Amino acid sequence: MIPKNDTISRSWLITQVKKHKSKLILANLIAIVATLISVPIPLLMPLMVDEVLLDKPASGLSAMNAVLPEAWHTPTGYIFFTLFLVVLMRAASQALNIVQSRQFTLVSKTITFEMRSKMIDKLGRISIRQYETKGSGGINAHLITDIETIDQFVGSTLAKFVISFLTVIGTAIVLLWLDWRLGLFILLVNPIVIYFSRKLGSMVKHLKRKENHSFEIFQNRLVETLDGIYQLRAANKEREFLQQLKESANQVRVDADKYAWQSEAAGRVSFLLFLIGFELFRAVAMLMVMFSDLTIGQIFAVFGYLWFMLSPVQELLGIQFSWYSAKAALKRINDLLELEEEDRPVSKVNPFNETREVDVKIEHVDFSYNNENKVLDDLSLHIPAGKKVALVGASGGGKSTLIQLLIGVYRQNAGSIRFNDELTEDIGFEVIRDKIAVVLQQPILFNDTLRHNLTLGGHFDEMSLWRALEVAQLQDVISQLNHGLDTQIGRNGIRLSGGQRQRLAIARMVLSNPQFVILDEATSALDTATEAALHKALTEFLRGRTTLIVAHRLSAVKQADLIYVLEDGKVTQTGTHGELVEQEGLYQTLYGGIQSQA
């Protein structure tokens, strides 16, 4: 399911910009004032050449005579006053530029926060299929690298664009005032330079997309390698995987190098075109001295304005390359926002009642991951309210897939799943998940404290926490730690043993007080004595709670009131342990020998 109007479109950006209208108006007013202050600067000192050095008094000297004391009415006084005025104007212009840039930064940071928030909200709705395809590294790239690219464009590039554009326009106006022919020359040359610059820029913009794609692949492999570094080191395979990571990093280098030097070359060629126009302009200006009434001071002013334009023109020419990067980043962000979402039907009924046990019925369910090979084939089974039911079978038989269907990670292709005789489509999976607790063989733990991993941010009193730990047979272990529940457990709980991680997940389940419990190989890493003590404590906790046990260990399976044997996505045997171990079939094959040894 792909929701409409969920992407970051031009209208969405305009809406966000309108929220900051006052800041943008202020920023643009500041830019105008800064330009009005800075544009006259190249004119002041050169005019001193005419009015002071060449002794041709005009309006400039008249204005200074009006404000300076008579003792300063000397060439030295005029020059130093003009120098002071130029320095003051430059300082004021730069200060205003800082304030203007600050306003754009405030706007850009807020807009990129809204974009990032929009993407984070999307993460909660993306279907698991898309997560499996996309990979966490690619999603990281969207949330960090792509957002930062857009932030840089809005906050820095656009702020410079306003100042640069106004500076070029202001300079052109002054040149028109000095000599309309020189001003017209500038107005004709700059559009030609910009046109050819756009042509050059369009030739390299695809390289940025290629660089981004290579970086996404590298980030995916990096995350996968770091997540599996323990197993890789144990299997002595870290060299091979690190070599693959180096190859991905090298591809990033190659693609980044292509974009960097070719975009730099395009920028240099664009600037070369401007410099050619600059040299032509300078030659024309010198000729104008010979064939017009331009003074020496005015020609110095013209040259000053030419240098004054260099930086703004460079900024304007470079904006297109920043725009191509931002445009590519925005497309990648929208690719994420267009990913298929989890189907979440609106809850119409709530069959769960605190005093009512949960009854689960799976009827004629079909499911396949690729719409070809069925993982579950016309599967029907019943999990009676308040009973313990075990699912057993060989790997790949469909046990874990059924769990994913029960909690709504995937939706069945056919058939129905009912909780207390109500269809899951009518209940809504947010309601269902609130009443179900799943304990996996390899629980997900976070690089945080034991307390956080136990509560997952929820608020519980200390007594409840220790009661849950007691059921999970962890209270003695944690009470011996120096920092107790505030002990850091490392990435993926690396500072805990496999059995301790499983017991922490069980304590988390106990704390959530579920009505329906699913244990998926939840005690596979425990030693026999600890498992026996845990089962004894869990028996009391699970009394009256519907429980589904997926396990290979006989000790876990024997607890069940009813056992289903799954083969190739179908139920092939049903009964108690005593009944099934006497029947010919997969169950006897799996557990008959163990039973006889016992």
Number of other CB atoms surrounding residue 298 within 10 Å: 22
What whole-number distance in Å separates Cα of residue 247 and Cα of residue 259?
A: 18
Q: Are 207 and 254 in contact (CB under 8 A)?
A: no
β-strand partners of 374: 368
The pLDDT score that the predictor gives to residue 98 is: 87
Domains 10-337 and 360-444+515-597 share a fold: no
The pLDDT score that the predictor gives to residue 525 is: 81
Number of other CB atoms surrounding residue 52 within 10 Å: 21
Position 18, amino acid: K
Tens-binned pLDDT, residue by residue, of the chain (598 aa)? 544 457 887 778 778 888 888 888 888 888 889 888 888 888 777 777 777 777 777 777 778 878 888 888 888 887 888 888 888 988 998 899 888 888 888 888 888 888 888 888 888 888 777 776 666 666 777 777 788 888 888 777 777 788 888 888 888 888 788 777 777 777 777 677 667 766 766 666 677 777 777 877 787 777 777 766 666 666 677 777 788 888 888 888 888 888 777 777 777 777 777 777 777 777 776 776 676 677 777 777 777 777 777 778 777 777 777 787 788 888 888 888 888 887 777 888 888 876 778 999 999 999 988 777 888 999 999 999 999 999 998 887 888 889 888 988 888 889 999 999 889 888 888 888 888 888 888 888 888 899 998 888 888 899 999 999 999 999 988 988 888 899 998 877 888 888 889 999 999 999 988 999 999 888 888 888 888 888 888 888 988 899 999 988 888 888 889 999 998 889 999 999 889 888 888 888 888 766 544 4
- What does the H/E/C string look like for 156-199? HHHHHHHHHHHHHHHHHHHHHHHCHHHHHHHHHHHHHHHHHHHH
CATH class belonging to 10-337? mainly alpha
The pLDDT score that the predictor gives to residue 593 is: 67
The pLDDT score that the predictor gives to residue 362 is: 93
Give the start-to-end residue ranges of the domains of the chain.
Answer: 10-337, 360-444+515-597
Determine the CATH number of domain 360-444+515-597.
Answer: 3.40.50.300
**CB within 8 A of 144, min separation 6: which ones?**
none
Of the candidates 561, 190, 201, 199, the residue with the CA atom closest to the CA atom of residue 389? 561
Q: Are 389 and 562 in contact (CB under 8 A)?
A: yes
DSSP state of 552: S
The pLDDT score that the predictor gives to residue 510 is: 92
The pLDDT score that the predictor gives to residue 360 is: 93
The pLDDT score that the predictor gives to residue 127 is: 78
What whole-number distance in Å separates Cα of residue 180 and Cα of residue 172?
A: 9
